[in-house]
A and B are shown apart, each in its own frame.
Chain A
Amino acid sequence: MKMSGNAAARDNQTPHSKVISLPISRVKLIMKSSPDVCFINQDALFLTTKATELFVQNLALSSFNNGSGKGTNTLSYSDLANIAEETETFHFLTDILPKKILARDYLKSMEQMQEEDDDL
């Protein structure tokens, strides 16, 4: 019951690439939460759902490859944040993928700001 995006062949046992593995009704809900959306036809719903699958694969693989140079073999949040910044197609994600800093660095910079205020 594994999902293989590669097997496009019409295999008797496993037509995986034909099956949508994301809940269409949930996709529809997300689409409807966009302002001004009235009706969505069946094709549009199917295409969006399928495209979302492709997007996930694309994002995951690009991020993984981008980060694998560090030899961790693990896809991490920072790989995602980096790819959003570096790849134009994923620029729209930069707002929701802020680069993270260590808590202590943040607190240090807050303290410095405080000191500067005190000096004024």
Chain B
Amino acid sequence: MDGDSTTTDASQLGITGEYMASSHYVLQSQDDDGEESLNDHEDGGIKENFREQDIYLPIANVARIMKSAVPQTGKIAKDAKECVQECVSEFISFITSEASERCHQEKRKTINGEDILFAMSTLGFDMYVEPLKLYLQKFREAMKGEKGMPGVSVGESLGEELADDTFRIITADGQQQNVMVYTTSYQQIPAVQQIQFS
């Protein structure tokens, strides 16, 4: 590769596949300095750099939910999964900032459930509101069985025993391993453990 910054060689432009974003002219180009060091290589850097604004939910979880929604025989392209992962963060931020604004207007510091529901219906997601209220009700009923606030405890809890009447959401949101255990148990229903690796 020469020092000229223009090139029409797709592989040198770091374009995987044939597509790239247009109006924003997003190109993942390689370093064009004369001395290119492999350590400074920025190819694919967007996903590798962990910036605060790029916090995503684990792609395995997202992909699983997508699969549960589309027909059995349907397939999902890899870049579609990655893209939905980003859309999810966007969605969460979208709802949160709307809810937060309302809190501010009412001089409150804590975003509560009502704020979230209100934000959803303001932003065009009012079809979620009723189902969410039902889920919340079930969530609260289950929590009543627990003495005190169950809260969310972070830590490895794979081997832990749970009494039938207790309800806990346990997340072991580790580092690269990202082992998560979600366990709920309602009064008539025995504990179900879901272990997800992503």
Contact = CB atoms under 8 A, between A and B. Distances in A.
B147 interface: no
A30 B173 CA distance: 14
Interface string A31-57: 101111111111110111011111111
Given A21-B196, A50-B132, A51-B95, A74 B76 contact: yes
Interface residues of B, number: 93
Interface in B51-98: 52-53, 55-58, 61-62, 64-66, 68-71, 73-77, 79-80, 83-84, 86-97
Interface in A63-80: 63-64, 73-77, 79-80
B176 interface: no
B29 to A, nearest CB: 12
Nearest to A14: B192
9 contacts: A5-B68, A34-B100, A37-B97, A38-B103, A47-B136, A74-B76, A80-B83, A100-B20, A101-B20
B130 to A, nearest CB: 11
Interface in B138-197: 138-140, 142, 149, 151-152, 154, 169, 171, 173, 178, 180, 182, 184, 186, 188-190, 192, 194, 196
B89 to A, nearest CB: 5
A89 to B, nearest CB: 4
Contact of A107 (B8, B120, B171): B8
Interface of B: 8, 10, 13, 15, 18-26, 52-53, 55-58, 61-62, 64-66, 68-71, 73-77, 79-80, 83-84, 86-97, 99-101, 103-104, 109-113, 115-117, 120, 123-125, 128, 131-132, 135-136, 138-140, 142, 149, 151-152, 154, 169, 171, 173, 178, 180, 182, 184, 186, 188-190, 192, 194, 196
A37 B138 CA distance: 27
A120 interface: no
Contacts of B93: 30-31, 33-34
Contacts of B58: 23, 26
B68 A73 contact: no
Contact of A26 (B57, B79, B90): B57
